[in-house]
């Protein structure tokens, strides 16, 4: 069990990331948290910002009530700022926002307004700093992520296959592709730490095929390695069938159905991990309260399929799955970028 106390090495880690974000002495930096945020990370952010001479201030809001019938986990769509216009105004006025909300603002409705005046935002995933320390961004990864973004934006089709039975096709026409390397160093930029991932938000009616989650693959919403295969049939973006026996298939079906919302079955985003420092096995080494699992989204060579909200397709829902899949081959048009779970070519 990890101990929640201030460690000098963790202040060093936070200060290093803020340095990559080009936080300047005297810069006003907002630290956004909620009442259920991890206090240790809030304190570390403040101390690190003070160490480099910034002028941090805190925006703290109450954690909002739960509206769904089931627990919500790892959506990246925090509702902590819903109705909090004064808090949003304070965030807009800062040069940088350090996002320490539980779910994060990555897909929050308020994000465009916060960035509107040129603020940049660093979402620090709700991890124990023991994990963040291992995953301080490496600038050498940045050009590779940028190369992946460029390749995805230029492609017309993404195809994903695997020996387990996956055969999924995504039309990239109209998709919005972004990449995260772990720090934000320009006005209006958004990043999350840990980073090292490329994701595309497909346009409507562009995702079709079968995705097989094999034993050993991960359901990050459940923070669980699968013990038996689960096959998702996807038609025109929506999961239309869930095949498999055992607890994994049953849990998946029940969680999808709990929301009573067709949009919970829809594709949110697709992409792949590129971070060689991120570890597939890390999920088994932390207590559940100590991890948010962002590392597993970023481990090099995984195919990441996610369901739920996709603001670029004008779909909003509280339901969300993040499903990193091993052993896949990803092809952008005629170019293989991942072969059997291993990055190849310029992205390796």
Q: Tell whether the model's pLDDT for residue 85 goes beyond 90.
A: yes
Q: Tell whether the model's pLDDT for residue 102 goes beyond 90.
A: yes
Can you tell me the distance from the alpha carbon of 174 to that of 256, in angstroms, rounded to the nearest whole number? 26
Assess whether 156 and 305 both reside in one domain.
Answer: yes
Q: What is the CATH number of the domain that holds 126?
A: 3.40.50.2300
Spell out where the chain has E strands. Answer: 28-34, 55-61, 96-99, 120-124, 157-162, 167-171, 176-180, 190-193, 197-201, 207-213, 218-219, 224-225, 230-235, 238-243, 267-273, 303-310, 315-325, 328-332, 335-339, 342-343
Assess whether 146 and 90 both reside in one domain.
Answer: no
Evaluate whether residue 187 is within a structural domain.
no
**How far, in Å, are 20, 58, 137 from residue 24 at the CA level?**
11, 18, 19
Containing domain of residue 313, as a range?
139-181+192-347
Q: With cut-offs at 50, 70 and 90, classify the pLDDT of residue 311.
A: confident
Assess whether 213 and 342 both reside in one domain.
Answer: yes
Whether 107 and 77 have beta carbons less than 8 Å apart is answered as yes
Q: Tell whether the model's pLDDT for residue 149 goes beyond 90.
A: yes
Model pLDDT, residue 46: 98
Assess whether 91 and 110 both reside in one domain.
Answer: yes
Evaluate whether residue 321 is within a structural domain.
yes
Count how many domains the chain has. Answer: 2
Model pLDDT, residue 257: 96
Can you tell me the distance from the alpha carbon of 327 to that of 313, in angstroms, rounded to the nearest whole number? 29
Can you tell me the distance from the alpha carbon of 91 to that of 103, in angstroms, rounded to the nearest whole number? 17
Q: Residue 348 has which token pair? A: 């390796």
Q: Tell whether the model's pLDDT for residue 82 goes beyond 90.
A: yes
Mean pLDDT of the chain: 96
Model pLDDT, residue 62: 97
**Cis, peptide link before residue 194, omega less than 30° from 0:** yes
Assess whether 315 and 228 both reside in one domain.
Answer: yes
In sequence order, the 6+-apart residues with CB closer than 8 A to the CB of 243 are 230, 231, 233, 249
**How far, in Å, are 21, 100, 105, 115, 196 from residue 88 at the CA level?**
21, 14, 12, 10, 28
Model pLDDT, residue 1: 67
Model pLDDT, residue 297: 96
Whether 303 and 325 have beta carbons less than 8 Å apart is answered as yes
Assess whether 43 and 177 both reside in one domain.
Answer: no
Evaluate whether residue 206 is within a structural domain.
yes
Sheet holding 55-61, edge to edge: 55-61, 28-34, 96-99, 120-124, 190-193
Assess whether 177 and 81 both reside in one domain.
Answer: no
Taking only the tens place, the pLDDT of each residue in 42-80 is 999 999 999 999 999 999 999 999 888 888 887 878 899
Q: With cut-offs at 50, 70 and 90, classify the pLDDT of residue 153.
A: very high
Average pLDDT (182-209) is 97
Task: Give the distance from CA 300 to its chain's centroid.
Answer: 14
């Amino acid at each position: 069990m990890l101990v929640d106390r201030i460690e000098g090495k963790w202040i060093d880690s936070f200060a290093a990331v803020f340095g990559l974000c080009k936080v300047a002495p005297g810069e006003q930096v907002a630290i956004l948290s909620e009442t259920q945020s991890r206090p240790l990370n809030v304190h570390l952010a403040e101390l690190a910002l003070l160490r480099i001479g910034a002028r941090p201030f805190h925006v703290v809001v109450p954690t909002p009530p739960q509206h769904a019938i089931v627990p919500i986990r790892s959506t990246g769509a925090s509702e902590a700022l819903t109705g909090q216009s004064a808090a949003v105004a304070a965030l807009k006025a800062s040069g940088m926002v350090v996002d320490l909300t539980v779910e994060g603002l990555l897909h929050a409705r308020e994000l465009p307004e916060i960035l509107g005046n040129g603020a940049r935002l660093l979402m620090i995933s709700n991890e124990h700093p023991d994990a963040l320390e291992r995953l301080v961004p490496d600038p050498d990864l940045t050009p590779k992520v940028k190369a992946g973004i460029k390749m995805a934006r230029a492609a017309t089709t993404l195809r994903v296959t695997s020996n387990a039975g996956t055969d999924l096709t995504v039309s990239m026409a109209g998709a919005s592709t972004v990449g995260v390397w772990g720090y934000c160093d320009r006005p209006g930029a958004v990043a999350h730490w840990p980073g090292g991932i490329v994701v595309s938000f497909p346009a409507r009616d562009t995702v079709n095929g079968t995705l097989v989650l094999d034993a050993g693959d991960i359901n990050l919403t459940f923070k669980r390695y699968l013990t038996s295969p689960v096959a998702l049939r996807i038609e025109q973006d929506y999961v239309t069938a869930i095949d498999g026996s055992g607890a994994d298939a049953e849990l998946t079906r029940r969680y999808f159905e709990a929301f009573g919302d067709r949009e919970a079955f829809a594709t949110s985003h697709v992409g792949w991990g590129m971070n060689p420092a991120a570890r597939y096995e890390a999920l088994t080494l932390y207590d559940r309260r100590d991890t948010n699992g962002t590392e597993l989204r970023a481990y090099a060579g995984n195919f990441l399929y996610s369901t739920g909200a996709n603001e670029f397709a004008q779909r909003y829902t509280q339901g969300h799955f993040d499903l990193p899949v091993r052993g896949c081959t990803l092809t952008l048009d005629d170019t293989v970028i991942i072969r059997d779970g291993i990055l190849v070519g310029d992205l390796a």
